[in-house]
Structure 1
Amino acid sequence: MTETANAPLTWQRPPAPIDQILNAPASPTVAISPNNRWLLELEYTDLLPIAELAEPEIAVAGFRLNPQTNGPARPNPYRKIKLHELKTDGSPLSEAIPIDLPDNARISFLYWSPCGDRLAFTLTRNHHLEAWLLDLPTATAKQLTDSPLNGTYGTPLRWLSEDTLLCKVVDRDRGQPPVAKPVPFGPIVQENLGGKKPNRTYTKLLHNPHDEALFEYYVSSTLEIVNLDGEHHGIWPASLIDEAIPSPDGQYILLTTLHRPYSYQLPADYFPRKIQVIDRQGNLVYTVADVPLIDSLSTKFDAVRTGRRHVSWRSDRPSTLYWVEALDGGEPTQAATDRDAVFQLPAPFTAEPQEVWRCGYRFRRLLWGREDVALAWDRWYDTRQIRMWRINPSQPEQAPVLLLERSFEDNYSDPGLPLLRRGDHNWNVMYFTPDGEGIYFTGRGASPKGVYPFFDRLNWQTGETERIWQCEDPYFEGVVDLLDDHANAFITNRQSQTEPPNYWLYYDRAKPPIPLTRYPDPAPELAGISEELVQYERQDGVALSAKLYLPAGYNPETDGPLPTMFWVYPEEYKDAKLAGQITTSTNRFSRPYRTSILFLLTQGYAVLDNPSMPIIGEGDAEPNDTYVDQLISGAKAAIDYLVDRGIADRDRIGIGGHSYGAFTTVNLLAHTNFFKIGIARSGAYNRTLTPFGFQGEQRNFWEASETYIQMSPFTHVPQVKSPLLLIHGGDDSNPGTYPIQTERLYEALKGLGGIVRWVVLPLEDHSYRSQEAVAHVLWEMVNWCDTYLKPVRLES
């Protein structure tokens, strides 16, 4: 096969009915007010015109910003708001009230007021970001101030109280943007004078002094208080504000600002920062920490920086800080009895910080309930263990009570997480039962029979649970909001294989629920597809499963085997028994969107979606040391299963994947002759280019060089014989999946005579978002499958 010219190809559209499905409007996003009085429908466009991706942007310090709007680059905002009054007595929703907004509104950063009767949000205009207010009882919206907000980095507005907002505002005195010097001032020099400072791979970083100047120019903000009449006054001068978070009572502000020295190897999240508490007048009250550049963490997943981290407000108190400090130097390889400690400090922040809890694993999460009850979690990655503890914040001397310990790989024992509600100070706290002895929990409910979300009552003293409600066949349904303390009224999101997701109101658990929304099937062309959870075993006895999708009307007895595509993404495990657990539901409403492989169902293909390919390393063994062998074994088991059922034949099975799935795809093409084609999107294929870890691998290249080389499909390119379609976003910012990974793989395959096609999507990131690119990717995938996979091979 000869190489084709490199001339640009115009955007292509996929065949019917794929194109029609892509153009179907998406169902709105639903938001329920904290006081349960209002239900908002937020309309959006799932796929953006590529012209919006082409708007001006600047990439600095690991993120993108729009220099014209002083907002984030490439947002996917809401376009319209519709308002319903919500009643809990079984009455249907009120008729929708469209909110009057400017034409072509771009709505972002939505925040409910403390009482829940107002909504603050931003509107993106051509040259700035505006603060707006929606008053729900009157269904009217208005602009709050002419001062342009700064949404380039962090959150531009938050509620300070029921009648005031705290806003990050563009510095009025910043002048014109810095201009790059046409002649370099001098060389760019970086050095390391000892000390290990490994970093994973990042993109869009600072590269020179001009980038530093751009970063400071666009991120710099002043901090202002704005009331609902639009009056405003500044309380903090221009600085690199990361976040400004009011205390629950609105009397103090937790202010985080970035400062020099910056890094050319790390994004802004790792830059030095000062964490301070100021009052409403802008007076400095307390300095929590001055954090240096975070550039010396090991690649171990439980490595953390030293000093105060996870600094935030206690949600159940008016103004009490809490934070976490490492007790082991932040290094997981260092032996230690206790790894982390949690401290608290109430206003006026003049006392000594009080230790609340010590944990033997790494701190994971802490949820506040009331003075005597909080729940805390610690976790250790190497053993995959996670624990849930009850602590008494008011009496830290009391020993914490262990409520649950399990492997976080064990989905069947997952108790879920506490349901949260607005507390006395308008921050989310755990939802207690009326008797005060229980906490409401919601979870996914994975089990050997399938996935059935549940709603539980956990006794916080004993750890025992009582099942209040659980969804049943044929539905996949979960609780999204509790409407009364006794759990008689709540809202769920329900779907089934034949019913699209919609919201339902249980106003009395003894009575049938009523529908709140009636969103239609966005792709009725796929109404007849077959979805089945299939189970089989690997050669070593590990249980495996996958979702098998078959075209509408297909009958294996009369229609015979189908051309079949696998879509893969492996996962690492420490326990072989847990690797085979069922974690997907057959009761979901399966419709493809964006670049989903399920669109191939409309073209006569079968799809085996996400066949489990566990990479297991029990005990001291590392999963990736036998990655290739386990990958092959999992793929062979799936193929044998489908062939034995008569659904697929061995001559017409292809494989594809995105990101780590693309990496997997090329590995299987290199190490087996199982698959007749491959589709690899936005992958990384040479692990020497990600030398300080990738995916679940914590070791660096020099600690596990054989593993890195053996796992890199680039090393085994001569063994790739099947036609391979390579697709990559031209502006991929995902760590590790630089576009050069695909470019070099293509050059290698071309140089060795392989059948390969390389598609670069201009302006697209790791995931593809434009109408034009998504349609073109689907056209490429269908065309590749139709050319190399669908044709029946005749006997010679």
Structure 2
Amino acid sequence: MRVGVCLVALLLATTAAAQTPDTGYHRAPDAIAKVLETPPTPGVALSPDHRTLAVLDRENLPTIANLSKSILRLGGYRIDPVTNGQAEVRVQWLNGLSFKDVGTGRTIRVALPAGTRFASPDWSPDGARLAFYVQEADGLSLWVAERDGTVRTIAKGANGTFGTPFVWTPDSKALIVNTIPAGRGAAPAAPTTPTGPIVQESVGRTSAARTYEDLLGDAHDEKLFDYYFSGQLVRVDLDGTARPIGAPGLITDFSVSPDGRYLLTERLKRPYSYLLPAGFFPTEIAVSTIDGWPVKTLVDRPLADDLPVDFDATVKGPREATWRSDAPATLVWAEALDGGNPRAKLAFHDKVMMQAAPFDAAPVELVQTPARYATTMWGDDGFAMVVDREWRTRTEHRQAVAPSRPEQARMLLTRNYQDQYGDPGRPILEENAAGKPVMRFTPAHDGIFVTGEGATKGGAFPFLGTMPLAGGEQTRLWTAKAPYFESVVAMLDDMGKRILTRRESAKVAPNYVIRTVKGGGAKPVTAFPDPAPVFAEIIQRTITYTRADGVPLSGTLYLPAGYDAKRDGPLPTLLWAYPAEYTDAKIAGQTVDQGNRFVRPRGISHLFLLTQGYAILDNPAMPIIGEGGAEANDTYVKQLREDAEAAVDAVAKLGVSDRMRMAVGGHSYGAFMTANLLAHTNLFRAGIARSGAYNRTLTPFGFQAEQRTYWQATPTYTEMSPFTYADRIKEPILLIHGGADDNSGTFPIQSERMYAALKGNGATVRYVVLPNEPHGYRALESTEETLWQMTDWLDRYVKPKTPVSKQAVEG
């Protein structure tokens, strides 16, 4: 008998408030609410000279009033028309700043006016001062703080619609700022009467596109996009002197060459699209002098509306243009050798090109890459590292190149980038005098310093090491030791003998320390307290188990503080998961013990339910494996069912979980998983599905890791859609969705239609829409409402040991 069948009658036993949904926001249970009201742990930003930590006080959850301010949704962006910046949900606001001397520990508080909200702090290349932009009543302004604690405004009218509106010049004497063009005037008024229909047409031309949110919809939207997103670059000296650079335009990105002489810009152009976000609009990438005089147009490409839907598909011609970090003014970009189609059968799919100032000589080919170009990490004329990746096989290549001798490229490694155990780490990158990231060489210049997570079955233990330039095995200089997870933040000398690390353990809150690599203790730099001591006694352990087909799996089991198995017996349990796709079963089965991590929930975390008497199996592995070229999703339902069965069996056998009181939940793709498990298994009493997609015909050109279209894989799309099997879902399911979901593919209509299907088939279901919330809920009121709803749902349908029968209610 299905666990949920006898629970349908529970709906009859609920209060009138449950039958007629409450109005107004609920407060989360007291233990949860108190944590949510505690200020979050500050962030830090280390100066390039490693002398100073900027300690950044993060703003707590915004109010629903802040989240409900007027916004515009244009070209895939959400903006605040009052400030001409990104909307509230897109910015992590900070509200306090202090400078801490790394060596002495001396702290200086920056005297910000009360109520200041700022974002995007960025150190000058010389480490002398910190720039950031501030939200004021009528716009964004640019401020600079000195290390002595003084602060001043140096520019007003910044345009933050595309993101951070400023960059430092390499000499640290000025900033290049994207500003609102002078004399812009009033915003275009919305027409009161249509002037005609909106017409789109395609004549036999293939132009598939995944689903996107917040697109332009008509001619008025196009005018608004031009009005708000157009910017004028201005050089602003530290004394506030401002000089315009070039012509205004839709400037999505800009950067200064390391020698400070040139400016690289990306600008959008018409015609726009109503089906694609701004990143696909016609784009011009060009170089000018630092004063704005045109020097070179690298590419002027058309609307990118004809790309294949494959993840590695890309545009034709130059793309991803950047400055070479270790050269005065050398332009670097990638170009597809396969016409942008990753399915083309070629040995190499991209090439990386270089061209040095004054940009009149022919470009030089640096290297060709077997897969799609990802990045280059620069060192000097003799050594750089080029990385490419292929999504379909999860393959990564790393090549060593000598920029002065491109013909000498050599392969350093080929690996599956999902392989945690075999991850060699990454080169340590630190800013040079121009503020550009470069690799750190060993004193003898025969190697580079590297750092990585150091994942093992017994846990992750970050390391510092060196990699020889000539090839061969790495040398480990230092490895974190249990019980700590301690990651390398920076090297404090050229030898790698002193390092700054971020250290935590299951019981010790994350803080920054200085340590000597060869012996010696750790010197604390910060002393951030435990933000949620109510979780200090939570029991945490990594469990391992095996899927029916032999694939090893794992998850992190959390038990409430003070839990005693003999005294308390098996608990009601929530499995909270998110499926992942793999191409190798051995890699899918890798386990990394999480016992040395400091876990404190924030926001809408399901872990808050630990305070309400539930056990939680967090992130139990839900691998969907496609080996030997097989499509993983063709067996999605079967594998998902086996993953869940193994997880439930594992916690039940431990004696801590009651097999008859199991719930399943997830967010986004985890919500999709939840609905599928309720439709295709008998394992759970109830489910919680937040901001999911349930009908894959509404995402017909691919979703998550699926690259095929609906017409190429109709049976798979149909079988994977829990909407298809809504009539089979008998267990109570709670649907929650942000009313302004901004995630590609999870439009609110997904939950709206799923609720209608479930309701129409007699399911026990509740559908909660959180006004003005995006994909990840932000407002304090919405956060508390979400956690109240989750607690209430599980308390009704999972926690009771004896379900109320329909006959008992009727009697």
TM bucket (normalised to shorter chain) is over 0.9
Q: Which moves more between the two structures, 380-389 or 9-18?
A: 380-389
Note the C-alpha offset of 1:154.
3.5
Quote the Cα distance in structure 2 between the aligned partners of 1:637 and 1:507.
44
Map residues 170-189 of structure 1 onto 2, 5 A cutoff. Answer: 170-189=180-199
Give the alignment partner of residue 85 of structure 1, picking from 79, 101, 108: 101
Note the C-alpha offset of 1:377.
1.4
Which residue of the partner structure matches residue 274 of structure 1?
Answer: 284
Quote the Cα distance in structure 1 between the aligned partners of 2:290 and 2:296.
13
The answer to whether residue 59 in structure 2 is matched with residue 45 in structure 1 is: yes
Which residue of the partner structure matches residue 450 of structure 1?
Answer: 459
Say which SS state the counterpart of residue 365 (structure 2) adopts.
strand
Give the alignment partner of residue 309 of structure 2, picking from 299, 305, 311: 299
Note the C-alpha offset of 1:423.
2.1
Map residues 133-172 of structure 1 onto 2, 5 A cutoff. Answer: 133-136=144-147, 138-145=148-155, 147-160=156-169, 161-172=171-182
Quote the Cα distance in structure 1 between the aligned partners of 2:375 and 2:472.
18
Amino acid in structure 2 at the alignment position of 1:86: V
Q: Tell me if the contact between 1:302 and 1:380 (Cα under 8 Å) persists in the aligned partners.
A: yes
Note the C-alpha offset of 1:463.
3.5
Q: Tell me if the contact between 1:155 and 1:243 (Cα under 8 Å) persists in the aligned partners.
A: no
The answer to whether residue 106 in structure 2 is matched with residue 116 in structure 1 is: no
Map residues 740-751 of structure 1 onto 2, 5 A cutoff. Answer: 740-751=749-760
Cα deviations by residue, 1:275-333 (Å, 9 ceiling, x for unpaired): 11111221001111102111111111221111001101000011100001111111122
Which residue of the partner structure matches residue 232 of structure 1?
Answer: 242
The answer to whether residue 601 in structure 2 is matched with residue 585 in structure 1 is: no
Map residues 591-602 of structure 1 onto 2, 5 A cutoff. Answer: 591-602=600-611
Quote the Cα distance in structure 2 between the aligned partners of 1:650 and 1:708.
31
Which residue of the partner structure matches residue 392 of structure 2?
Answer: 382
Which residue of the partner structure matches residue 110 of structure 2?
Answer: 99
Quote the Cα distance in structure 2 between the aligned partners of 1:500 and 1:318.
43
Which residue of the partner structure matches residue 617 of structure 1?
Answer: 626
Structure 1's 6 and 275: CA in aligned 2 closer, same or farther, altered over 3 A? farther
Q: Tell me if the contact between 1:320 and 1:347 (Cα under 8 Å) persists in the aligned partners.
A: yes
Amino acid in structure 2 at the alignment position of 1:143: T
Which residue of the partner structure matches residue 3 of structure 2?
Answer: none
Q: Which moves more between the two structures, 189-198 or 539-548?
A: 189-198
Which residue of the partner structure matches residue 246 of structure 1?
Answer: 256
Amino acid in structure 2 at the alignment position of 1:279: T
Give the alignment partner of residue 494 of structure 1, picking from 496, 503, 523: 503
Which residue of the partner structure matches residue 684 of structure 1?
Answer: 693
Give the alignment partner of residue 230 of structure 2, picking from 206, 220, 235: 220
The answer to whether residue 424 in structure 2 is matched with residue 415 in structure 1 is: yes
Quote the Cα distance in structure 2 between the aligned partners of 1:72 and 1:716.
40
Note the C-alpha offset of 1:795.
11
Quote the Cα distance in structure 2 between the aligned partners of 1:521 and 1:124.
30
Quote the Cα distance in structure 2 between the aligned partners of 1:566 and 1:677.
11
Which residue of the partner structure matches residue 4 of structure 2?
Answer: none
Structure 2 residue ranges without an equivalent (≥5): 1-10, 806-811
Which residue of the partner structure matches residue 466 of structure 1?
Answer: 475
Which residue of the partner structure matches residue 704 of structure 2?
Answer: 695
Quote the Cα distance in structure 2 between the aligned partners of 1:518 and 1:617.
46
Please give the TM-score of this superposition, normalised by the length of structure 1.
0.97
Map residues 546-565 of structure 1 onto 2, 5 A cutoff. Answer: 546-565=555-574
Amino acid in structure 2 at the alignment position of 1:438: G
Give the alignment partner of residue 530 of structure 2, picking from 511, 516, 521: 521
Q: Tell me if the contact between 2:85 and 2:163 (Cα under 8 Å) persists in the aligned partners.
A: no
Amino acid in structure 2 at the alignment position of 1:101: L
Structure 1's 16 and 693: CA in aligned 2 closer, same or farther, altered over 3 A? same
Which residue of the partner structure matches residue 358 of structure 1?
Answer: 368
Structure 1 residue ranges without an equivalent (≥5): none
Quote the Cα distance in structure 1 between the aligned partners of 2:781 and 2:384.
49
Amino acid in structure 1 at the alignment position of 2:25: W
Note the C-alpha offset of 1:538.
0.4
Quote the Cα distance in structure 2 between the aligned partners of 1:642 and 1:211.
53
Which residue of the partner structure matches residue 809 of structure 2?
Answer: none
Note the C-alpha offset of 1:488.
1.2
Say which SS state the counterpart of residue 705 (structure 2) adopts.
coil
Quote the Cα distance in structure 1 between the aligned partners of 2:22 and 2:257.
54
Identity of aligned residues (%): 46
Cα deviations by residue, 1:736-788 (Å, 9 ceiling, x for unpaired): 00000001111111111111010000010000111110011000111111111
Which residue of the partner structure matches residue 441 of structure 2?
Answer: 432
Note the C-alpha offset of 1:21.
1.1
Quote the Cα distance in structure 2 between the aligned partners of 1:238 and 1:402.
44
The answer to whether residue 376 in structure 2 is matched with residue 369 in structure 1 is: no
Q: Work out which structure has the larger RCO, using CA pairs closer than 8 Å and 6 or more positions apart in sequence.
A: 2
Structure 1's 184 and 695: CA in aligned 2 closer, same or farther, altered over 3 A? same
Say which SS state the counterpart of residue 18 (structure 1) adopts.
helix
Cα deviations by residue, 1:513-535 (Å, 9 ceiling, x for unpaired): 11111111111112111100000
Amino acid in structure 1 at the alignment position of 2:135: T
Quote the Cα distance in structure 2 between the aligned partners of 1:51 and 1:318.
48
Quote the Cα distance in structure 2 between the aligned partners of 1:387 and 1:191.
41
Say which SS state the counterpart of residue 210 (structure 1) adopts.
helix
Which residue of the partner structure matches residue 789 of structure 2?
Answer: 780
Quote the Cα distance in structure 1 between the aligned partners of 2:775 and 2:376.
32
Quote the Cα distance in structure 2 between the aligned partners of 1:23 and 1:226.
39
Q: Tell me if the contact between 2:676 and 2:722 (Cα under 8 Å) persists in the aligned partners.
A: yes
Cα deviations by residue, 1:653-681 (Å, 9 ceiling, x for unpaired): 00000000000000000001110000000
Quote the Cα distance in structure 2 between the aligned partners of 1:509 and 1:211.
61
Which residue of the partner structure matches residue 653 of structure 1?
Answer: 662
Give the alignment partner of residue 534 of structure 1, picking from 523, 535, 543: 543
Note the C-alpha offset of 1:409.
2.2
Q: How many residues align?
A: 788
Q: Tell me if the contact between 2:125 and 2:432 (Cα under 8 Å) persists in the aligned partners.
A: no
Amino acid in structure 2 at the alignment position of 1:229: D
Say which SS state the counterpart of residue 397 (structure 1) adopts.
strand
Give the alignment partner of residue 631 of structure 1, picking from 640, 645, 649: 640
Note the C-alpha offset of 1:583.
3.9
Amino acid in structure 2 at the alignment position of 1:53: L
Structure 1's 257 and 662: CA in aligned 2 closer, same or farther, altered over 3 A? same
The answer to whether residue 72 in structure 2 is matched with residue 58 in structure 1 is: yes
Note the C-alpha offset of 1:7.
6.6
Quote the Cα distance in structure 2 between the aligned partners of 1:365 and 1:243.
17
Q: Which moves more between the two structures, 54-63 or 674-683?
A: 54-63
Give the alignment partner of residue 128 of structure 1, picking from 116, 134, 139: 139
Note the C-alpha offset of 1:103.
2.0
Quote the Cα distance in structure 1 between the aligned partners of 2:160 and 2:792.
41
Structure 1's 527 and 55: CA in aligned 2 closer, same or farther, altered over 3 A? same
Q: Tell me if the contact between 2:334 and 2:352 (Cα under 8 Å) persists in the aligned partners.
A: yes
Note the C-alpha offset of 1:176.
0.5
Q: Tell me if the contact between 1:680 and 1:724 (Cα under 8 Å) persists in the aligned partners.
A: yes
Structure 1's 795 and 31: CA in aligned 2 closer, same or farther, altered over 3 A? closer
Amino acid in structure 1 at the alignment position of 2:84: N
Quote the Cα distance in structure 2 between the aligned partners of 1:306 and 1:587.
46
